[in-house]
Structure 1
Amino acid sequence: MNTVGTLIGAVAGLVWLRARGRGEHRWWRDAARGTGIACAGLLALADVVHASSPETYDAVAVQHRQEAAAKASAGSSEWITGAAQSVFGQGTRGPAD
């Protein structure tokens, strides 16, 4: 809403200057400079807002990822032992042995 208000104010100012007969010869240059300054300010404000936004930490999501990783690795020890025994023979010991 601030941006809309700024644009309305800028247009109203240009209309006022044209109606009074002042600044007619440079109104386009002033409008271009004002637009450039407004865009630079908008980019600076967006950068400040983005840089100051806090990083969120979702403890529940971290816990779910840890549980999923634990479940995924639960059968890996048995699987690797079975794979090693099929390659190297029945006397092969697993990583937990």
Structure 2
Amino acid sequence: MQFLFEVEDVFSITGQGCVLAPGVPQAFMRELKNGAPLLICTPQGEHIYTHIDFFVSVKKKQPLSHTPFSLPSMIKKESIPAGSKVYLQDDERK
């Protein structure tokens, strides 16, 4: 399991789930794809096992240091508070 980032903000996209920001660091050496398994640990101690649904394209004048992504639509914005920690799972959950 590898730490990716701490959630600073969560946005809802109607019909598509929530987007976690800042997202995966650009400097992350391993290529991530849709479906990559994640573990999200909330500040309250809850563990949410999920995956990257899709990466979100953001147009900015300056290059981003992170790439935000969306979670499956069954995970609601209220479930992921700021301060939650996002980890990449190396293996399927046992």
For Structure 1 versus Structure 2, the TM-score category normalised by the shorter chain is under 0.3
TM-score by length of 2: 0.19
**Larger RCO (CA within 8 A; separation ≥ 6):** 2
Length-normalised TM-score, structure 1: 0.18
